[in-house]
Amino acid sequence: MLSRCLFQIALILCLSGAATAQVNIGFGGTPHDSSQSVEVTSDSLSIDQTTGQATFIGNVIVVQGDMRMAADQVQVIYSDVDGSREVNELLATGGVLITRGVDAAEGSEAVYTVGTSMLTMTGNVLVTQGSSTIAGERMVVDMSTGNGTMGGRVRTILDTGASE
């Protein structure tokens, strides 16, 4: 209930002309656990042995716990930690869709930093939570808290709860 109230307050701020809106985008209503393993499925895979980067191409589906990402292409960026490679970031391009439960966000590109659970989406971003929607050019969300910002020309439709 509190997150819905915060979301509605953020939407009112959007309508008042603010260029950047603080939003609560809980994506499923519970904190995301970024320590879970990442599963990737795609039509093909290209690996650069020099950098250790992997590029998944075609109908890419990424799953981590209850978060699901779909895109045309996803590049996995690794970092060296104590002599071993760990997944650091996922760079998704082409019709990116991210869902948790019934909540969804879509945009042209997304960068998900695994260790910090930070998600940045750009390019005609649209977030849908139940009957509420908010759209803009750039969204940054801490998936573990649900706190985030929507920037660019922010647009929304407020459900007043009134019946006709």
DSSP state string for 99-135:
EETTEEEEEEEEEEETTTTEEEEEEEEEEEETTEEEE
pLDDT at residue number 31: 65
* 2-157: CATH topology: lipopolysaccharide transport protein A fold (2.60.450)
Residue 37 C-alpha from the chain's centroid:
17
Whether the CB-CB separation of 44 and 74 falls below 8 Å is answered with no
Q: How far apart are CA 55 and CA 73, in angstroms?
A: 7
pLDDT at residue number 27: 58
Whether the CB-CB separation of 63 and 90 falls below 8 Å is answered with no
Does position 9 have pLDDT exceeding 80, yes or no? no
- 3-state DSSP: the chain helix, strand, coil percent, rounded to 5? 10, 60, 30
Q: How far apart are CA 122 and CA 109, in angstroms?
A: 5
- pTM reported for the whole predicted model: 0.77
Q: What percent of the chain clears pLDDT 90, i.e. is strictly above it?
A: 38
Q: Which residue has the tokens 């659970």?
A: 117
**Angle of CA points 26, 124, 58, to nearest 5°:** 90
pLDDT at residue number 12: 40
Among 17-21, 54-58, 66-70, top mean pLDDT goes to 54-58
The per-residue pLDDT of the chain, averaged, comes to: 80
